[in-house]
Amino acid sequence: MTRYLGDGTTMDREQAWRAMASAAGHWALRGYGQWVLELKATGEPIGRSGLYFPLGWPDLEVGYVVAPEHQRRGYATEAAGAALRWAFDTVGAAKVISLIYPENLASIAVARKLGGEPERLHRFPNVEVLVFAYRSSSTSSR
């Protein structure tokens, strides 16, 4: 699952702690963050989705990740669509982005289904990603 997250490497214990602190801190500092995705029938956790905007990030991002055994069932599209609606309707965002590795065709397909348009490339120190932009009018009927 980490191939298309961050720099694509597995986190060590210290990095994982910082990531968890950042996730919890988003809710405290920004009033939004990521949700755990779980199967309705069993409660099994299968991924996460939500909003992300740490200091230095290019813009408010909607992210999504689903465990490989649960992919291609529409869960990412459903969860990211709900997060986008929440970003526009509750948070009051005018624009939201997704940062996607150019070779991550599944995530590009999700972004397009949700009305995302490729905007530009963004370079982080170790990776270059596509920026897909969503505007409130592009997702209002989704």
Supply the pLDDT for residue 120: 96
Q: Is the pTM of this model over 0.85?
A: no
Supply the pLDDT for residue 60: 97
In angstroms, the CA 129 to CA 123 distance is 6
| pLDDT tens, residue by residue, 59-85 | 999 999 999 899 999 999 999 999 999
Given a cut of 50, whether residue 57 has pLDDT beyond it is yes
Inter-residue contact 34 to 80 (CB < 8 Å): no
Largest CA distance in the chain: 42
Mean pLDDT of the chain: 88
Q: Report the half-sphere exposure of 76 (CA within 13 A, side-chain side).
A: 21
| pLDDT tens, residue by residue, 27-48 | 899 999 999 999 999 999 999 9
Given a cut of 70, whether residue 9 has pLDDT beyond it is no
Q: Which residue has the tokens 């055994």?
A: 69
In the structure, what pLDDT confidence band is assigned to residue 2 with cuts at 50, 70 and 90? low
| CATH placement of domain 2-139 | 3.40.630.30
Give percent of the chain with pLDDT exceeding 90: 68
